[in-house]
Each structure stands twice: as C-alpha cells, then as structure tokens.
Structure 1
C-alpha cells in the first residue's frame, strides 16, 4: 500500500510540473509570436522606407556620384 501511495503522490507532483511547463511553453510561444510580428513590421517598414528614399545624388540635385568623385 505504501508503494501505491508513493507512486500516486509522485504522479500528482509530476502532473503539477507538467501543467507548469505547459503554461511556460504557452508564454514562450506567445512571446515568439509577438517578436515575430514585430520583426515582420520592421522589415516591412524598412522595405517601404528604402523604396521611398531617394539616392543621395538625387537629393542634392547635382547628379554627381559622390562615391567616386575625387578619386584617381
């Protein structure tokens, strides 16, 4: 009888730990989803920004390629 009671107590303890681990996994999954969504938004924002951004020579109005001027 003592072995049965011990095993039942251990099973209850393990079920409690399992429940805690499942909750922790759900929390981590939710955080992963939130971070993934933030990264998607940042990528989308960066892509939209780079498409709308004029190159430096167009902004200055000179048409000069500043990356090669002054080099021999």
Structure 2
C-alpha cells in the first residue's frame, strides 16, 4: 500500500534515524571483520600444522608406497583401518 502523502516525515528525524542505523551497521561490519580475521588465523594455524605433520611423516623403509598414498590429504590410512 502506498504511503499517504499527508503524512510527512521530518527530515531531521529521518536523518537521525539513518545515522543511527548506519552506526549500527558499521558496528556489525566491524564484528564481522574481526570474525573473518579469526577464521583466517585459524585456517593458517591448521594449514601450518598439516604441513608440519606431512613433513614429519616417515617414508617407507623399503621404498614401497604405503597404502593410502596418493591421497591429497597426506594421511596414512593404514594405521586407522579406514577407507
């Protein structure tokens, strides 16, 4: 339903309302940026841990490929008996 033309909005009230909403949105944006930074830091930490674990995994002594090798996860599934 269209707005009634006889109901005028005070520009000062509209401006104050929009400024308050903008401040609220800026606060939410700040919280979202902080959350994204925290997720990025966690991703970096997990990636570093995975690289360290892959680097510390001992290779087979007789030169044969381990079961599960070829997986892009770098995990040795033979020790967990999982597919």
Runs of 4+ displaced beyond 2 Å: none
Give distance in 2, aligned partners of 1:54 and 1:25.
46
Q: State the TM-score, normalized to the length of structure 2.
A: 0.64
Ranges in structure 1 where 5+ consecutive residues have no aligned partner: 68-72
Partner of residue 65, structure 1 = 64
Correspondence for 2:44: 40
The Cα RMSD (Å) is: 1.8
**How far has the Cα of 1:17 moved from its partner?**
0.3
The alignment's TM-score, normalised by the length of structure 1, stands at 0.73
Q: Who wins on radius of gyration, i.e. which is larger?
A: 1
Answer 1 or 2: which has greater helix percent. 1
Structure 2: which 5+ residue stretches go unaligned? 1-7, 67-83
